[in-house]
Structure 1
Amino acid sequence: MNDSNTVRRTPWPETGSRPLVTPLQPSVVYVSDDPDALDAQYADGSGYTYAREGHPNAEVLARKIDALEGAEGGFVTGSGMSAVAAMFLGLLKAGDHVIGADQLYGRSLRMMRQDLPRFGIETTLADATDAEAIRAAIRPETRLILVEVISNPTIRVADMEGILAVAREAGVLLAVDNTFTTPRLYQPLLRGADIVLHSVTKLLAGHSDATLGYVAAADPALTARMMEANVTFGLTASPFDCWLAERGLQSFGLRLDRAEANAAALAQALSAVPGVARVIYPTLSGHPDHNRAATVLGGRGGNMLSFEIEGGRAAANALVRAAPDIAFAPTLGDVGTTLSHPASSSHRLVDAEARAAVGISEGFFRVSVGVEPADMLVAEFTAAVDAARTAS
């Protein structure tokens, strides 16, 4: 028996047609004709060599997100936090200073407070709803400002116009984590920001089965520096996850619009439920940034809302147990509604005093609203709040 032909790779069949669906290409390595051809590929960026340096599925996905964001040459990373890491590692050095919004995602806050200082990069957190607070934090060595348009999980809306002006005046890069807003509500680069980031894991992919990030800069030179860090530190995206995310992206607009309509209905309903201390959603008149939200978000509110119930951890436990069909999970952006408790998930590493300063109590919940019927969601959440009132 001669099995040599099974060991060698078989050339891909050539046909007169092409697949409608993007092929999944899990290959780690790519074959070149000779050393001259390989040199040329490295010199001009044509073709693929090693998957850590790029692969077709990542390229297809990145170009689609580029189109949504009005970007060119963005790249996909292994997670949302790896996109943040690629930015910091590629653009900063010891002695630099970074300003972050004080209500960033919990792991971004940890990176700002604990990890960057270990590398000699100083950080300051400031209120992104007040551009003057950002201005006051700027130093001669400040190189970058990182904000979220809608904060996670407090749903505050940043003073984007003011911060853009401050960054331009100071000659400081402005990076925007656009995960919550998505390019459907806000396009940072087209508004004047320097860098846009995403956790593609969330709304863009939309099905909780792919872990990815994305980052792009208006200046190709900055993108190249971030991409080099991405390759060097091995923050590579999986071809399979890229393939799944591209499939999810095809329904992104439809999913977000339906979920946004549901979120507005749920926010309005929860505002009238006894036992709910407050509801935070941009289009509600009682939102602290309501007027700004109308300008920044064009009258839209997105699919994320937060609310706070009366009572402590016992009431929070009761609410979750009373809503078994609503996934209790520390994530967002799924096609179905998910409920999270920041004090025990995204912000559990943030001390209680710091959580309290931004309004995150034991009764505080964040909701990533999905595409279910709105009346079903209202009924489920109303019953859950009633159960929490009984427990407290």
Structure 2
Amino acid sequence: MRPHGLPESASHPVVTPLSPSVVYASETPDALDDQYEGRVHGYTYSREGHPNADVIARRLDDMEGASGGVVTGSGMAAVSAVLMGLLQTGEHVIGGDQLYGRSLRLMKEDLPRLGIATTLADPGDVEAIRAAIRPETKLILVEAVSNPTLAVADIDGIAALCREHGLLLVVDNTFTTPRGFKPFDHGADIVIHSVTKLLAGHSDVMLGYVVAKDAALNDRMRVFSVTTGMTPSPFDCWLAERGLLSFDLRFDRAEATAARLADHIAGLPGVKRVLYPTRHDHPDHGRAETLLKGRGCNMVSFELDGGRDAANAFTRAAEGLSFAPTLGDVGTTLSHPASSSHRALSPENRAELGLHEGFFRVSVGLEDPDTLCRIFEDAITAATS
């Protein structure tokens, strides 16, 4: 039965309609059986799926060259759908030691609590990954370009290792995005995104996405997501679809500005180091050239002399830039891992990762490049003089 008052139309909307309904009515119990048993497509209860989630999933599938992807309520929900939806007690997972802070916490604290063993290893060192493999190892999780140190994983080498040992390779492609890197072309089995970041791109969406080459894995992750309530908001899906319409343009502009900004601040007094994949002084520059084929993404990381005092002075002086634990906005944002994404780690653990008190991660936005370089120069001068 059609809802009362819904008008007929000989035309169709250009913009995808927002469908906030929590429940969907079926004509009969037999009709509902047909939906649940896959004979016809239809919606029942929005926790189990809704039109806006399907629209954004299909768009992301097309971008990654996949099908059957699952949209979740956040990027960490997508990570959890993999690690908790596919692993079970007694199994073992290897993670890159340069993962996002919450992914590290999940690996170090939550999975062991559930009886899933974890090991962290350098994703740029295939032999270190090999040494971590056990008979009960099931998958390896790495970020193509790590958050926040921009280390570049040896995806090709790890993929060969996974094939050798029958393991799943899971790649978090959030920083690089499908515009900069295609994990499935390099042997990945599962790809993760925090859609919240560059893909949606306006700091008003909280979404994640995960897709596997194997349809059976997608089904397992989808069931786990539905059962645990990882369902995304229709409104967030609708906003993310809008963001994707300008994604290519936004990514290319921000990437070009990021490369220029990295070169500019590298020459300023008081800057200890700058990390950007296309720079020749990046520790993984050779691998970045091979894997990313000259792409660098919109992220720049750097470290100031002067520790926390310099960090505080820098954010105060960075006029017009938001100091916030996020990335991928249309405006440039500053993040300080020691006080945000990696604050749960001990100072010693952060030091092992190179995340000192003067370390910043920059998500470059769409500002005029000349203006952005001037803002950074003035703020760095104020912080280190």
Once the two structures are superposed, the pairs formed by residues 97-116 of structure 1 within 5 Å of their partners are 97-116=92-111
Per the TM alignment, residue 318 of structure 1 is displaced from its structure 2 partner at its CA by 0.1
Per the TM alignment, residue 190 of structure 1 is displaced from its structure 2 partner at its CA by 2.5
Q: Does 1:275 align with 2:270?
A: yes
Matched with 1:138 is 133
* Matched position secondary structure for 1:370: coil
Per the TM alignment, residue 9 of structure 1 is displaced from its structure 2 partner at its CA by 4.5
Per the TM alignment, residue 12 of structure 1 is displaced from its structure 2 partner at its CA by 2.4
* Matched position secondary structure for 2:197: coil
Matched with 2:8 is 14
Once the two structures are superposed, the pairs formed by residues 303-382 of structure 1 within 5 Å of their partners are 303-382=298-377
Which letter maps to 2:355? I
Matched with 2:29 is 35
2:70 and 2:221 in contact (8 A); partners too: no
Which letter maps to 2:165? A
Q: Does 1:247 align with 2:242?
A: yes
Counterparts of 1:224 and 1:188, CA distance in 2: 20
Counterparts of 1:191 and 1:165, CA distance in 2: 9
Matched with 1:3 is none
2:317 and 2:382 in contact (8 A); partners too: yes
Counterparts of 1:331 and 1:224, CA distance in 2: 30
Per the TM alignment, residue 312 of structure 1 is displaced from its structure 2 partner at its CA by 1.1
Per the TM alignment, residue 289 of structure 1 is displaced from its structure 2 partner at its CA by 0.5
Once the two structures are superposed, the pairs formed by residues 39-50 of structure 1 within 5 Å of their partners are 39-44=33-38, 46-50=41-45
* 1:198 aligned residue (179, 193, 197): 193
Matched with 1:179 is 174
Give the aligned CA root-mean-square deviation in angstroms. Answer: 0.9
Normalized against structure 2, the TM-score is what?
0.98
Which letter maps to 1:258? R
Which letter maps to 1:147? V
Q: Does 1:288 align with 2:283?
A: yes
CA displacement, residues 11-35 of structure 1 (integer Å, 9 cap, x when unaligned): 5222100000000000000011101
CA displacement, residues 313-348 of structure 1 (integer Å, 9 cap, x when unaligned): 111000000013111000000011000000000000
Change beyond 3 A, Cα 1:42–1:321: same
CA displacement, residues 350-374 of structure 1 (integer Å, 9 cap, x when unaligned): 1111110111000000000001111
Counterparts of 1:100 and 1:324, CA distance in 2: 37
Q: Does 1:24 align with 2:27?
A: no
Counterparts of 1:184 and 1:68, CA distance in 2: 8
* 1:93 aligned residue (85, 88, 96): 88
Matched with 2:67 is 72
Counterparts of 1:13 and 1:91, CA distance in 2: 44
Normalized against structure 1, the TM-score is what?
0.97
Matched with 2:116 is 121
Q: Does 1:54 align with 2:49?
A: yes
* Matched position secondary structure for 1:147: strand
1:206 and 1:248 in contact (8 A); partners too: yes
Structure 1 outlier segments of 4+, above 6 Å: none
Matched with 1:83 is 78
Matched with 1:148 is 143
Counterparts of 2:52 and 2:4, CA distance in 1: 21
* Matched position secondary structure for 1:306: strand
Matched with 2:384 is 389
Matched with 2:258 is 263
Counterparts of 2:313 and 2:211, CA distance in 1: 42
Identity of aligned residues (%): 66
2:319 and 2:375 in contact (8 A); partners too: no
* Matched position secondary structure for 1:196: strand
1:70 and 1:190 in contact (8 A); partners too: no
Counterparts of 1:109 and 1:272, CA distance in 2: 33
Q: List runs of 5+ in structure 1 lacking aligned partners.
A: 1-7
Which letter maps to 1:220? A
Counterparts of 1:12 and 1:203, CA distance in 2: 36
Which letter maps to 1:30? Y
Counterparts of 2:3 and 2:199, CA distance in 1: 35
